[in-house]
Amino acid sequence: MSQRLPVVIFAVIMAVLPLIPNIPPFWIVLLDNIGLAALVAMGLVLLTGVGGLTSFGQAAFCGFGAYTTAVLSTHYGLSPWLTLPLSLLVSGLAAVVLGIVTVRLSGHYLPLGTLAWGLGLFYLFSKLEFLGRNDGISAIPPLQIGSLRMLDPGTIYYVIWIAVILAALLTTNLLDSRTGRAIRALRRGHVAAEAFGVQTARAKLLVFIYAAVLAGLSGWLYAHLQRAANPTPFGAHASIEYLFIAVVGGAGYVWGGVLGAAVVVILKEVLQSYLPLIFGGQGQLEIIVFGIVLVALLHFAPSGMWPWLTNLLPFKRSATRTDTSAELAPRAAAPLTSEVLLKLEGARKQFGGVIAVNDVSFSVGTREIVALIGPNGAGKSTTFNLVTRVLESSAGRITVCGTDIDGATPQQIAKLGVARTFQHVKLIPDMTVLENVAMGAHLRGHAGAIASMLRLDRADEAGLLAEAARQIARVGLSDQIDQLAGSLSLGQQRIVEIARALCVDPVLLLLDEPAAGLRHMEKQQLAALLRQLRDGGMSVLLVEHDMGFVMDLADRIVVLDFGTKIAEGTPDVIKSNPDVIRAYLGATA
């Protein structure tokens, strides 16, 4: 209830505002416009601020929502309320068609792609006869409840702000879920997310559609507020302004979208009203001043106004209370058909003329710790990437639990029970340790986006968080469970990655330089943990440069040099192997 209390207070304030005696009608118009902009900005918070997908075309989705209700209610006499689901459906279908192509783009091509179709749709709206061309559609019927016809901004005000508050709650619920963690992971790249079963292409399309539906809702409300729809509000200029709103409010914060809408809409109105009076109405000075003020705001609060404001408040994030008694079903696993979990036969990876992995063969059996060592550039991490299908093999055969993984995806490898850490830590720094570790249990949850938004995923979510808390305790980081991952030391972040991998419930754990950044006692604790995992039935394949750590821990060692296997055996055999000494250990035989 404490988390919902600020929302309740905000809702009460917004409900009371129009009831203030002698409140100027213009203020209500301003609040209506803030609400409409906030809906689009919330979608951009999810799409751009959280998901990392920059869009310059959201105003076009507003146009889909507005024109759908305009056509259906004026040309076909359909009730405006019945046009609402159809407006959202049209916006969503448009997002599916555009998103299938757009979200595959990366880097600067993605925003350029959204800008291109945003401009194209703006001109399409202005050329279609049944949409009224540049004149648009007028005489759109108002919303009506019984005998109440919402003909003025004051009567539709409550519909707009109920939509804003519901959208904020649904969006917050979505982010606080298994699906929300998958969306957050998109910003940091797809490799880590896919290693734990996230369908990144699907997650990108999901957030793209969700943002479009919120924009369509805003367009639907706009059409019945203005009772007219023409192309002007749905062009590139409006899309850029919506993106400004999300950034000014705080691109990663749902309520930042509402705050940003208030700041930008009010600022624009103040400048447009008073600057012409001050400067005699010469030129478009308000646009220049508006830009300067926005730049100053971003310089003052680079992360947005919302985090800056919340940091000033005395309320701090409360500690997580996770019920560790909640049970999570183990990963669905196929029965093992042999004692060999991983087998590489002539595995090869070639990048042009460079052979990174040269016909490497070795295996990892059950209840075994195998170390993969070699100098920098020997092909160790590339071998890991071949096993987890981050990279496709150029030749050879790799089997996991008896299954040939040629053509498999990283998600399918995770389902087979293979989990990994990375040479360069891949955590989400602005998520807590608990949230990062829970990412590892993604495949063990089942609740989807709609269930998450409606809060029907609580039992599923409790199991995921309980499993994450147990693995955090297992690696000895319970005291850091509520800390942001980005605030931890490098050594602690590597331990968090191990806890995340353990949430997969793996049979084979791949650790890429797990001891890097750890102190001596921490290395000993890690070694004890890995032995405990082995004794419990898990196998470990690790890459490590600390020879003392490897020699005391590994059952077998495989040595690579320039992508080629030069030795394999027990630690005692490897210590005395002249090829290994010459290539890696650097001692005299």
40 and 164 in a single domain? The answer is yes
227 and 178 in a single domain? The answer is yes
Query: Could you tell me if residue 473 is inside a domain?
Result: no
262 and 299 in a single domain? The answer is yes
Query: Could you tell me if residue 137 is inside a domain?
Result: yes
pLDDT value for 589: 41
pLDDT value for 284: 65
Tokens (6 digits) for 24: 């100027």
CATH code, domain carrying 408: 3.40.50.300
Write the pLDDT tens digit of every residue in 211-255: 999 999 999 999 999 999 999 999 998 999 999 999 999 988 999
DSSP conformation class of 320? P
Is 345 strand, coil or helix? strand
Bridge partner residues of 567 (DSSP): 559
Q: Which domain covers residue 213, as residue numbers?
A: 28-312
294 and 353 in a single domain? The answer is no
Tokens (6 digits) for 410: 């990283």
- Token match 């409900």: residue? 15
Query: Could you tell me if residue 459 is inside a domain?
Result: no
Query: Could you tell me if residue 5 is inside a domain?
Result: no
244 and 170 in a single domain? The answer is yes
Q: How far is it, in rounded angstroms, from Cα 207 to Cα 215?
A: 12
151 and 255 in a single domain? The answer is yes
Query: Could you tell me if residue 281 is inside a domain?
Result: yes
Contact 320, 481 (CB under 8 A): yes
281 and 355 in a single domain? The answer is no
Which residue type occupies 325?
S
Q: How far is it, in rounded angstroms, from Cα 387 to Cα 543?
A: 13
Query: Could you tell me if residue 461 is inside a domain?
Result: no
| Count of Cβ atoms closer than 10 Å to residue 520 Cβ | 9
CATH code, domain carrying 157: 1.10.3470
pLDDT value for 457: 92
Q: Which residues contact 370 (CB under 8 A, 6 or more apart)?
A: 362, 364, 539, 540, 541, 542, 554, 555, 556, 557, 558
Contact 192, 411 (CB under 8 A): no
Alpha carbon distances (Å) from 122 to 58, 117, 304, 506, 576: 11, 8, 29, 51, 73
300: Cα within 13 Å, side-chain hemisphere: 12
235 and 303 in a single domain? The answer is yes
pLDDT value for 386: 93
Kindly report the pTM of this predicted structure.
0.91
Contact 326, 470 (CB under 8 A): no
408 and 541 in a single domain? The answer is yes
Alpha carbon distances (Å) from 391 to 191, 417, 436, 562: 10, 18, 24, 18
Phi, psi (degrees; rounded to nearest 5) at 124: -65, -45
Tokens (6 digits) for 64: 């889909």
Q: How far is it, in rounded angstroms, from Cα 428 to Cα 410?
A: 19
Intervals of the chain under pLDDT 50: 1, 588-589
296 and 397 in a single domain? The answer is no
Which residue type occupies 163?
A
Largest CA distance in the chain: 97
Q: What is the CA radius of gyration of the chain?
A: 28
Tell me the pairing of strands 418-420 and 508-512. parallel
Q: How far is it, in rounded angstroms, from Cα 205 to Cα 555?
A: 45
269 and 395 in a single domain? The answer is no
DSSP conformation class of 327? -
The length of the chain, given as a count of residues: 589
Query: Could you tell me if residue 326 is inside a domain?
Result: no
DSSP conformation class of 485? G
What is the total count of domains within the chain? 2
Closest by alpha carbon to 306, among 487, 41, 484?
A: 41
Consecutive H or E run containing 324: none
Q: Which residues contact 278 (CB under 8 A, 6 or more apart)?
A: none
Tokens (6 digits) for 538: 């898990």
301 and 394 in a single domain? The answer is no
Query: Could you tell me if residue 543 is inside a domain?
Result: yes
Q: Which domain-ending residue is among 312, 327, 352?
A: 312
Alpha carbon distances (Å) from 105 to 51, 102, 108, 188, 336: 14, 6, 8, 15, 39
